[in-house]
């Protein structure tokens, strides 16, 4: 390796780490609402059939598969006076905020939301645009490998995930305590736009733009370094990196179950568990507190046990615990207790998993840099989106089929049987992921110990 081309990374201040992580607050809010509440909004409130609702979201996953790869790949190719990453943030952040607003508020333009064909096309177009714009996070995330040394990355990832889950905590509280009431109002009259829904959507849409812009203008530009290979050669290098491709496939397999879980968890708590206002409040607070606690636990475990052992624990726990959704088939007066256990399970799994992509691909990019002399962080972060989002799209299509199964009535509550069957299906996916990681994947490198 040519040492003259090696990026010199020093220890970073906590302030720099916080500044770097802050855009994750805004992006987690808008992506969380899109992932957790959009299906409920269009399926339960607007009355769009579940297959078309999940199909539109699946197309969004396919769109982001291409967009994240292209933005990461292209951003590696040219160093500007603003660096490799900032120009893409400046261009795509406004599109992300605007598409989020129109995605949630079709009534701003569509004259009659009882026209389900127009509603479906609106959802399809704006969800695809939203997902393409969300690819702004790829050049942003590529900064980690360029600005932080390997020992700092778990802490940076933890801070990013704190920002993620402050956003997701706020989003989940608003979703459970405000949006559920909003959905009821819209279900009565689909052409109404409740004022609280309008204000929250616009504020979040503007917020995500501002946070990315603050980082774009105030974070230091990444160090200039030469990439001796061209874009096509970079693509060939990563495809030939066997361990990298195995990690990418692992994320795709896991994404089958994770996309189902995040999309349907709110619908499950609202429809199957039928929680009241105070019960939602308790569950929402526990989700927020649980995520913060579990992020710390998982990060500590990474540092003590290593990345591979920790990720195996995550998927083994998911395999054991997710069949809890089957309790929806049993008439009982303990919905709140089931809701608490369920939301803590979700928080435990997601709190652990979301630490890993940020760390894995920065480490894999540096591992490649140590052998080739080139840091190709953009393509290392962007390429996995192709596989991941194809798997996530397929997961949503499966979910759409499951939610189209016949209705059942349990203790006076009627819902599709698919709302209780998705948990065991995710459990099977997670045990497959566990066995795959155990046999094929390397996440801990010898050079980390030096």
Please give the Cα distance from 426 to 406 (Å, whole number): 20
CB 311 within 8 A of CB 253: no
Selected residue with higher pLDDT from 4 and 151: 151
Q: How far apart are CA 329 and CA 417, in angstroms?
A: 8
Q: Is the pLDDT of residue 105 over 80?
A: yes
Looking at every residue in the chain, the average pLDDT score rounds to 84
234 pLDDT higher than 60: yes
Tokens 């802050």 belong to residue: 22
| 184 Ramachandran zone, left/alpha/beta (phi>0; psi -120 to 50) | alpha
Q: List the chain domain ranges.
A: 18-222+229-449
| 317-339 pLDDT per residue, tens | 999 999 999 999 988 777 889 98
Query: Residue 3: which pLDDT band, with cuts at 50, 70 and 90?
Result: very low
d(CA 249, CA 241): 12
Q: Please report the pLDDT score of residue 237 as a whole number.
A: 80
Residue predicted with more confidence, 335 or 433: 433
Higher-scoring residue by pLDDT: 402, 283: 402
Predicted local distance difference test score (pLDDT) of residue 2:
43
Higher pLDDT residue, 73 or 256? Answer: 256
Share of the chain above pLDDT 70, in %: 94
Range with the lowest mean pLDDT among 126-135, 172-181, 262-271, 388-397? 172-181
The sign of the torsion formed by the CA atoms of 171, 175, 178, 183 equals: positive
Question: What DSSP letter does each residue of 184-211 carry, written as one string?
Answer: HHHHH-TT---HHHHHHHHHHHHHHHHH
pLDDT above 90 covers a percentage of the chain that reads: 32
Residues facing residue 408 across a β-bridge = 415
pLDDT tens digits, 7-59? 555 576 788 788 888 888 998 889 878 877 788 889 888 989 988 988 998 89
CATH architecture of 18-222+229-449: Up-down Bundle (1.20)
pTM of the model: 0.69
Residue predicted with more confidence, 39 or 310: 310
Closest CA relative to residue 324, chosen from 310, 337, 306:
337
The predicted-structure confidence for 374-404, as pLDDT tens digits, reads as follows 766 667 777 787 888 788 888 888 988 998 8
pLDDT of residue 28: 84
Q: Is the pLDDT of residue 434 over 70?
A: yes
Mean pLDDT to the nearest integer, 285-308: 84
Q: Residue 253: which pLDDT band, with cuts at 50, 70 and 90?
A: very high
Which H or E element spans position 159?
Answer: helix 153-174
């Amino acid at each position: 390796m040519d040492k003259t081309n090696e990026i010199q990374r020093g220890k970073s201040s906590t302030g720099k780490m916080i500044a770097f992580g802050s855009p994750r607050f805004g992006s987690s809010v808008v992506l969380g609402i899109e992932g957790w509440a959009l299906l409920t909004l269009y399926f339960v409130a607007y009355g769009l059939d579940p297959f078309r609702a999940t199909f539109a979201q699946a197309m969004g996953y396919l769109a982001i598969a291409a967009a994240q790869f292209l933005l990461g790949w292209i951003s590696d190719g040219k160093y500007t006076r603003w660096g490799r990453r900032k120009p893409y943030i400046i261009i795509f952040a406004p599109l992300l905020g605007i598409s989020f607003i129109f995605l949630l508020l079709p009534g701003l333009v569509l004259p009659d939301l009882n026209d389900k064909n127009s509603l479906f096309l609106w959802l399809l177009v704006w969800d695809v645009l939203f997902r393409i714009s969300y690819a702004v996070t790829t050049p942003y995330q590529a900064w980690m490998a360029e600005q932080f040394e390997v020992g700092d990355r778990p802490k940076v990832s933890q801070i990013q995930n704190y920002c993620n889950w402050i956003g997701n905590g706020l989003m989940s509280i608003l979703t459970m305590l405000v949006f559920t009431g909003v959905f009821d109002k819209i279900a009565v009259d689909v052409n109404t736009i409740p004022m609280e829904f309008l204000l929250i959507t616009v504020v979040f849409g503007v917020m995500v733009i501002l946070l990315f812009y603050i980082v774009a203008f105030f974070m230091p530009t990444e160090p200039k370094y030469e990439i001796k290979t061209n874009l096509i050669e970079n693509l060939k290098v990563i495809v030939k990196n066997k361990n990298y491709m195995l990690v990418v496939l692992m994320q795709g397999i896991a994404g089958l179950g994770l996309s189902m879980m995040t999309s349907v968890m709110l619908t499950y708590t609202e429809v199957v568990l039928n929680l009241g206002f105070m019960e939602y409040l308790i569950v929402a607070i526990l989700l927020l507190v649980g995520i913060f606690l579990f992020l710390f636990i998982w990060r500590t475990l990474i540092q003590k046990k290593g990345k591979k052992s920790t990720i195996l624990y995550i998927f083994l726990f998911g395999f054991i615990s997710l069949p809890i959704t089957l309790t929806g088939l049993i008439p009982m007066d303990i919905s709140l207790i089931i809701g608490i256990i369920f939301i803590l399970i979700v928080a435990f799994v997601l709190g652990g998993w979301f630490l890993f992509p940020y760390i894995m691909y920065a480490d894999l990019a540096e591992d490649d840099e140590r052998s080739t002399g080139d840091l190709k962080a953009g393509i290392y972060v962007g390429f996995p989106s192709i596989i991941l989002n194809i798997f996530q799209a397929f997961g949503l299509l499966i979910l759409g089929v499951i939610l189209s199964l016949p209705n059942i009535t349990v203790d006076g509550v009627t819902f599709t049987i698919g709302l209780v069957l998705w948990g065991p299906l995710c459990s099977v996916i997670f045990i497959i992921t566990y066995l795959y990681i155990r046999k094929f994947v390397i996440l801990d490198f010898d050079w980390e110990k030096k």
